[in-house]
């Protein structure tokens, strides 16, 4: 039985590495001005969110949905990440892809994020980053280039996620 569990774990890790490499190749973009609606903005007068405003910072960009179980697990970790590394130049930005704003707002009320949240109901931003699964996260370096990407949120991978964030923060600003 334990051999089956180890094999399953190895297969899951291999699949995660493959998905991350595919996402990274598909998202080799820079800080182009990408505009989308802010979750804090009223629907009637949506404000533009410009990723280029984060130039010079490391951005942890997380795509999520209210129905996503791993997304619920990731939000406390994202809060901790933002609190711990915000002063070091990390900006956490979570992009919601729900079509129903009420579902997103209910999720946000329950999980109380302490980082930027934006609303992308049409999926324009998710398409720009070739997002295929929830959650999908990318670490964008200070120069605007995607450093790493991963699909899913696995508590046993938090150490690796954190190492990726630290490596990006340790890079010199362009």
Tell me, what's the pLDDT at 16?
52
CA–CA separation, 135 vs 63, rounded Å? 5
Which long-range contacts link 34-41 to residues 24+ away (Cβ below 8 Å)?
34/125, 34/128, 36/95, 36/118, 36/119, 36/120, 36/124, 36/125, 37/118, 37/119, 37/120, 37/121, 38/117, 38/118, 38/119, 39/96, 39/104, 39/105, 39/108, 39/117, 39/118, 39/119, 40/117
Cα separations in angstroms, 15 against 7, 37, 69, 109, 172: 12, 32, 19, 33, 32
Q: What is the mean pLDDT of residues 143-147?
A: 92
Mean pLDDT of 80-95: 96
**Which pLDDT score is estimated for 10?**
54
Q: What is the pLDDT of residue 39?
A: 36
Q: Which residue has the tokens 């996620």?
A: 161
Q: Which of 4-8, 54-58, 129-133 has the lowest mean pLDDT?
A: 4-8
Q: What is the pLDDT of residues 24-68, one digit of tens each?
A: 444 333 333 333 333 333 332 233 456 788 989 999 999 999 999
Q: Which domain holds residue 101?
A: 2-170
* pTM attached to this predicted model: 0.74
- How many domains is the chain partitioned into structurally? 1
CA distance 150 to 129: 12
In the sheet that holds 136-140, the strands lie side by side as: 37-38, 116-119, 90-96, 58-64, 136-140, 146-151
* CATH code of the domain in which 27 resides: 3.40.30.10
The mean of the pLDDT values for the chain is: 79
Task: Give the mean pLDDT of 95-114.
Answer: 94
Mean pLDDT of 97-102: 93
């Amino acid at each position: 039985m334990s051999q089956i569990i180890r094999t399953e774990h190895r297969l899951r890790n291999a699949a995660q590495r493959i998905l991350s490499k595919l996402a990274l190749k598909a998202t080799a973009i820079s800080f182009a001005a990408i505009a989308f609606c802010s979750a804090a903005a009223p629907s009637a007068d949506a404000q533009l969110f410009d990723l280029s405003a984060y130039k010079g910072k490391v951005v942890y960009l997380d795509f999520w949905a209210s129905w996503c179980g791993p997304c619920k697990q990731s939000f406390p970790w994202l809060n901790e990440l933002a609190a711990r590394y915000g002063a070091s130049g990390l900006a956490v930005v979570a992009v919601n892809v729900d079509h129903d704003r009420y579902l997103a707002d209910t999720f946000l009320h329950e999980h109380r994020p302490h980082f930027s949240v934006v609303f992308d109901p049409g999926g324009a931003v998710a398409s720009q980053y070739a997002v295929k699964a929830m959650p999908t996260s990318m670490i964008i370096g200070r120069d605007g280039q995607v450093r790493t990407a991963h699909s899913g949120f696995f508590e046993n991978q938090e150490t690796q996620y954190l190492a990726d964030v630290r490596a990006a923060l340790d890079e010199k600003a362009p």
